[in-house]
Amino acid sequence: MPFNPLEHRGIPLDRQVRSWRELNVEPIDPDHCDPYTRCRVITMNGIEVEAIMFSHQLARHTKDPEVKRQLARTRYVEAQQQKAVNWLLPGVSSVLETTIAYEQVAVDLTAWVARMEPDPYLKQAYQFGVLEDFDHLYRYANLYEMIEHRKAEAIVDGLTEVMPGRPTRLHHRNPVDNVRDPYDRTRTDPLSKLHALTILSAEQQTMNFYMNTGPTYMEPIARQLYQEIGLIEEEHVTHYESLVDPGETWWEQLVNHEYNECYLYYSFMEQESDPKVKALWELHLNMELEHLHIACDLMRRHDNRDPAEVLAPELPNVLTFEPNKGYLRELLATQIDLTTLGAGYVREAHERFEEMQARIHGGEAAPSDRVMDQHQEVFGRQYRLETEGEHPVAALPENQ
């Protein structure tokens, strides 16, 4: 049934602040949960973190103290939402275990968005990026088996394959080649705006997670791998955020944020298998409907525009976590050797790319390659999870 968030009112804002008891959520069981429940938790945490940081930036650009106070009220509730969501992750999980779940999110969320994206240029941006997340999952999975003697399949549960993507060492591009062209806010499909905001939030959260948890490891190879992949997340945030039209006003951006939160909580409520988690998605949807309403009022007041002009008339198809194995294999077979040049994509290693590669690797093997060598020494093999047969690329680039 079509759902138009603009037509619904949620919980009044002054009834949204929760007590400690209400925030004390019961964590999911890392050994028995639906892997996609964990993916939804990680996604919504990234979305809430973006909501909070966006609101802070907006407040710093706002002169009117009354508006600052209004933003602070909503933002406090968003900060509580972030706590309720992220605290669903269990304390017994290791950082590396959570990292593998983050990469499963990056793979299956980006692949789904690439499949559904109507704009061909934007679709290409997601297709390009997902092959890199796919390789990160493979590298971390090998590190995980080395440090904890656990296989990534105990986390991804056969829903996502674990095997080489575009080799991580080749992700280090000249920063200027990470900047894409933006969509045109006046012409683009409203769904494209939601996709861009969702993926940039997820990648930003991944960047923050790796930059902060990487140094908690003692093993030199682990510390180095987090540094390397953490820097690629910086590239990915640049890549995805540049897709958003910078001509959107602050208020329009605020409305898009709140609308996207409604879309995602609604989507996840529809597909959630864990009843306790489903109840949380439903509660948060009912909070977001009110946040959206408040954001729309601010946009009307400050931009003199009706938010309905920039939003979809109803929510798009629910965003779904599901296996994307066939799609990813097709991309591997056709796009593994791409890199970027300016705002486009090429197959050859151009001069600016080669210069960056020479500088960052300094003539040595990258951590992402050394982790494979060390794994090979310990186990005499690589770790892969190929549920659908051989890897689609017969001759992978060297050092796999």
Partner 1 sequence: MTHTHTPHAGDDNAADTDVVTLLMRQHGDIRNLFDEVEASTGDDRKDAFRRLVRLLAVHETAEEEVVHPFARRAFPGAEEVVDERLAEEHKAKESLAALEDLDTEDPEFLPRLRVLRESVQTHARAEERYEFTHIRRSADTARLASMAKGVKAAEAMAPTRPHPGVESRAANMALGPVAALMDRTKDAVRKAMGKDG
Site residues, partner 1 (CB under 8 A):
31, 91-92, 94, 145-151, 154, 218-219, 377-381, 383-387
- Nearest-approach distance from CB 85 to partner 1, in angstroms: 22
Q: Is the Cβ–Cβ distance between 90 and 109 less than 8 Å?
A: no
Tell me how far CA of residue 251 lies from CA of 57, 76, 142, 245, 300, in angstroms: 12, 19, 44, 14, 9
From CA 379, how far away is CA 375, in angstroms rounded?
6
What do you get for the CA distance between the two ends of the chain, in Å? 47
| Between 91 and 246, CB nearer to partner 1 | 91
| Between 150 and 293, CB nearer to partner 1 | 150
- Nearest-approach distance from CB 94 to partner 1, in angstroms: 7
Residue 325 token pair: 């194995």
Tell me how far CA of residue 347 lies from CA of 128, 136, 163, 341, in angstroms: 12, 21, 22, 9
- Nearest-approach distance from CB 146 to partner 1, in angstroms: 8
| Between 31 and 184, CB nearer to partner 1 | 31
- Nearest-approach distance from CB 351 to partner 1, in angstroms: 39
Tokens 């902060």 -> residue: 212
| Between 45 and 142, CB nearer to partner 1 | 142
From CA 300, how far away is CA 103, in angstroms rounded?
39
Tell me how far CA of residue 226 lies from CA of 212, 214, 242, 357, 371, in angstroms: 9, 5, 24, 18, 11
Is 340 strand, coil or helix? strand
Name beta bridge partners: 344: 341
| Between 216 and 334, CB nearer to partner 1 | 216
Q: Is the Cβ–Cβ distance between 235 and 206 less than 8 Å?
A: no
| Between 61 and 149, CB nearer to partner 1 | 149
- Nearest-approach distance from CB 92 to partner 1, in angstroms: 5
- Nearest-approach distance from CB 150 to partner 1, in angstroms: 4
| Between 151 and 300, CB nearer to partner 1 | 151
- Nearest-approach distance from CB 369 to partner 1, in angstroms: 19
Q: Is the Cβ–Cβ distance between 300 and 292 less than 8 Å?
A: no
